[in-house]
């Protein structure tokens, strides 16, 4: 047992039994932490094909091995379970201070099984761990829940992960909210909590995290912070945060409006991107131990939402509450952000469901009769905000959208599905990625569905001059090309996975930008922290092992090559206007790039299922046996 790795907390919600276990050495060696621990346990404990909202689903949460230390941005917590939205393995991660507190309390991972007979929350007060009733909190928003729990625990410093009404009402894209404003957004992890009657998890850790070689660790951590602060990304990102990308997308011609029917101009996006938001920002904000501080506090001082205040406003929030819905009034996005956080739902999926619904309305596929009298008109922010509550409470038309865009489309029929851009049931990015070929591929192969946070290559968003300057050739990462992208996307996925196993925020690693923390620096800190002697190559192998294991999990749930194609307007139609007018995804070239990716990854070219040879090489022979037994290694489609 590695003494620098915390315990696993196992909570059987059906019986109320709580146990603490040491994490297995083999698990630590081969999976390191965070997403790695979760995916490995998911493989063992979640049976593919079960109902994600049934007590059989297992909810997994894990910190990283550097969590709670001074290592840069080591604050992430990975959450995984079978996704109520996609029916396959889903995962997300959240920042702020939960993971550090969990590690100070002595735990690395939490495993929730079963279903509590009545609403409860878990209180982790160092060694003392107990389930407490949450009956009085059921139905309450995240804000009130957090304040009430801190009050009744007499612990203002408790840090929490909670669900709002959306999670309780099993909205398929309900998220888990960290304290008040941070979210593990994707894949409906909040609905899994809701299905288990688990309202919140509160932790107070008054212990410490020890590292094996303290002086060495401090030196490495200091150098790492220094590197982040002196990176090219820092001046821009520490001020603007992710919202800064928004106007860059408009310049490229990929900022979508009206569910990808047209692209926004720079002027339009300047109203809702960082340029429009900044007047409301009151201070810069960081997650725990992060010197990048990409987030903000804000307060609205004018218009109908004057007096509204809060934190956050990331790119992924603003885009889905504004441009994609034709809304260019930025205060409404801030109001919307507070609402989605309080109700607890994923803004990406929310925005995609609305974008599709508004287009159905525009095209006459649905009418006021279907919407309960609401006119779904592009840009009408009152309607947008109104729908947040309606979806969370599953009221009227909101009940249908609470199923997510693709499920709602299937209910509606009449060709509604055509207007939903998704992959494996998970809706896609808010920007128009059909012109950005590597990114489109990354959305197609992402294990959870169409998400950008796994493997989207940053190089594609640089100008030709910047690419030439940084990589020696403007061809490298040229967004219009398919060639070379398979390798680029694969490597990017490994980079991202390394961030996710150490649970270091990827905005601080080379995943985000060249010259940020790379695998060498992370593994050095890891070795000094937990007394191992891993090499960069070892860690890359671990990352590939997890990536492939996740893929195998999905294959056991029936995912094959056919599911790696993104469906909907973004890939089936050309760009209508703007500088990239006419750009489209060529299905043939996409298929070639996909097959090339399989080749790089060691997955079968015909099925997209990992091959036995590759699985064995990664120490996953047992997975190959499972797949073979289930006939998955032989599937041809």
248 lies in the binding site for another protein (CB under 8 A):
no
Residues 461-480 that bind another protein (CB under 8 A): none
d(CA 576, CA 580): 8
By CB under 8 A, name the one of 37, 91, 104, 597 that touches another protein: 104
By CB under 6 A, name the one of 27, 28, 32, 73 that touches ligand SF4: 73
Residue 95 binding: pick among another protein, ligand SF4, none (C-beta 5-8 Å cut-off by kind): ligand SF4
Q: What's the gap between Cα 629 and its chain centre? A: 32
Which of the ranges 13-21, 151-159, 257-265, 628-636 carries the binding residues for another protein, by CB under 8 A? Answer: 151-159
- For the chain, the C-alpha Rg in angstroms (whole number) is 23
DSSP symbol at 513: S
Which of the ranges 354-362, 402-410, 423-431, 505-513 carries the binding residues for ligand SF4, by CB under 6 A? Answer: 505-513
By CB under 8 A, name the one of 20, 47, 135, 222 that touches another protein: 222
Residues 174-193 that bind ligand SF4 (CB under 6 A): none
94 lies in the binding site for another protein (CB under 8 A):
no
Of residues 160 and 580, the one with the C-beta less far from ligand SF4: 160
- Name, in order, each residue with C-beta under 8 angstroms of 261's C-beta and a sequence gap of 6 or more: 359, 569, 576
- Name, in order, each residue with C-beta under 8 angstroms of 409's C-beta and a sequence gap of 6 or more: 356, 360, 416, 417, 419, 420
By CB under 6 A, name the one of 95, 178, 248, 444 that touches ligand SF4: 95
- Name, in order, each residue with C-beta under 8 angstroms of 438's C-beta and a sequence gap of 6 or more: 456, 457, 459, 460, 477, 479, 485, 488, 489
What phi, psi does 183 have (nearest 5°)? Answer: -135, 140
Of residues 286 and 470, the one with the C-beta less far from ligand SF4: 286
Which of the ranges 151-159, 289-297, 426-434, 492-500 carries the binding residues for ligand SF4, by CB under 6 A? Answer: 289-297
Of residues 97 and 113, the one with the C-beta less far from another protein: 97
What phi, psi does 198 have (nearest 5°)? Answer: -105, 105
d(CA 502, CA 525): 10
162 lies in the binding site for another protein (CB under 8 A):
no
211 lies in the binding site for another protein (CB under 8 A):
yes
Give the binding-site size for ligand SF4 (rule: CB under 6 A): 13
470 touches 446 (CB < 8 A): no
- For another protein, what does the binding mask look like between residues 68 and 87, x meaning CB under 8 A? xxx-----------------
Tokens representing residue 110 in the block: 């939490």
By CB under 8 A, name the one of 148, 291, 301, 380 that touches another protein: 291
227 lies in the binding site for ligand SF4 (CB under 6 A):
no
d(CA 573, CA 473): 30
- Name, in order, each residue with C-beta under 8 angstroms of 260's C-beta and a sequence gap of 6 or more: 324, 355, 421, 432, 569, 570
Minimum CB separation of residue 288 from another protein in Å reads 5
What phi, psi does 503 have (nearest 5°)? Answer: 60, 40
82 lies in the binding site for ligand SF4 (CB under 6 A):
no
d(CA 466, CA 420): 34
Minimum CB separation of residue 111 from another protein in Å reads 24
d(CA 559, CA 611): 14
The residue whose two tokens read 């940053």 is 458
Of residues 290 and 321, the one with the C-beta less far from ligand SF4: 290
- Footprint of another protein (CB under 8 A): 68-70, 97, 100, 104, 126, 154, 156-157, 179-180, 205-211, 214, 218, 222, 225, 229, 282-291, 293, 297, 299, 309, 311
């Amino acid at each position: 047992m590695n003494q620098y790795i915390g315990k696993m907390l196992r909570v059987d919600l059906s019986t109320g039994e709580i146990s603490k276990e040491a994490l297995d050495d083999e698990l630590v060696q081969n999976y390191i932490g965070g997403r790695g621990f979760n995916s490995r346990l998911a493989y063992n404990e979640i049976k593919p094909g079960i109902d994600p909202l049934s007590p059989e689903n297992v909810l997994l949460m894990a910190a990283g091995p550097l969590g709670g230390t001074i290592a840069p941005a080591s604050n992430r917590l990975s959450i995984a379970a079978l996704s109520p939205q996609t029916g396959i393995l889903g995962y997300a991660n959240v920042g702020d201070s939960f993971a550090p507190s969990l590690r100070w309390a002595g735990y690395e991972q939490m495993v929730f099984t079963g279903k509590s007979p009545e609403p409860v929350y878990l209180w982790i007060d160092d060694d003392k761990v107990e389930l407490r009733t949450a009956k009085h909190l059921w139905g309450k928003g995240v804000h009130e829940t957090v304040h009430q729990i801190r009050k009744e625990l007499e612990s203002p410093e408790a840090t929490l992960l909670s669900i709002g009404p959306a999670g309780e009402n099993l909205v398929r894209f309900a998220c888990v909210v960290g304290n008040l404003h941070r979210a593990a957004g994707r894949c409906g992890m909040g609905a899994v909590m809701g299905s288990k009657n688990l309202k919140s998890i509160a932790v107070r850790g008054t212990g410490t995290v020890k590292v094996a070689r303290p002086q060495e660790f401090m030196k490495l951590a200091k150098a790492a912070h220094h590197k982040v602060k002196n990176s090219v990304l820092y001046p821009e990102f520490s001020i603007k945060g992710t919202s800064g990308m928004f106007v860059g997308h408009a310049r490229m011609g990929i900022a979508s409006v009206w569910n990808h029917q047209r692209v926004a101009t720079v002027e339009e996006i300047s109203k809702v991107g960082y340029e429009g938001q900044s007047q409301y920002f009151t201070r810069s904000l960081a997650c725990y131990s992060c010197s990048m501080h990409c987030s903000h506090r804000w307060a609205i001082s004018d218009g109908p939402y004057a007096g509204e205040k809060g934190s956050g406003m990331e790119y992924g929030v603003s885009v889905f509450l504004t441009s994609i819905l034709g809304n260019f009034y930025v205060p409404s996005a801030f109001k919307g952000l507070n609402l989605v956080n309080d109700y607890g739902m994923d803004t990406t999926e929310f925005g995609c469901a609305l974008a599709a619904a508004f287009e159905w309305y525009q095209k006459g596929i649905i009418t006021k009769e279907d919407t309960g009298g609401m006119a779904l008109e592009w840009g009408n922010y009152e309607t947008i905000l109104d729908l947040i509550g309606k979806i969370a409470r599953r009221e009227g038309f909101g009940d249908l959208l609470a199923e997510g865009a693709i499920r709602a489309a299937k209910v509606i029929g009449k060709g509604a599905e055509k207007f939903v851009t998704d992959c494996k049931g998970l809706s896609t990015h808010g920007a128009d990625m059909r012109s950005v070929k590597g990114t489109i591929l990354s959305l197609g192969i992402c294990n959870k569905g169409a998400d950008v946070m796994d493997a989207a290559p940053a190089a594609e968003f640089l100008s030709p001059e910047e690419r030439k300057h940084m990589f020696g050739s403007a061809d490298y990462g040229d967004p219009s090309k398919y060639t070379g992208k398979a390798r680029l996307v694969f490597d990017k996925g490994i980079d991202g996975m390394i961030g996710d196993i150490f649970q270091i925020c990827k905005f601080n690693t080379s995943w985000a930008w060249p010259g940020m923390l790379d695998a060498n620096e992370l593994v050095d800190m890891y070795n000094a922290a937990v007394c191992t002697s891993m090499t960069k190559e070892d860690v890359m192998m671990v990352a590939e092992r997890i990536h492939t294991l996740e893929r195998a999990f999905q294959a056991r749930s029936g995912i094959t090559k056919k599911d790696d194609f993104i469906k909907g307007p973004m890939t089936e139609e050309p760009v209508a206007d703007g500088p990239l007018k006419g750009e489209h995804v060529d299905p043939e070239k996409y298929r070639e790039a996909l097959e090339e990716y399989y080749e790089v990854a060691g997955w079968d070219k015909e099925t997209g299922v990992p091959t036995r040879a590759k699985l064995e090489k990664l120490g996953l022979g047992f997975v190959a046996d499972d797949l073979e037994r289930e006939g998955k290694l032989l599937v041809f489609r």
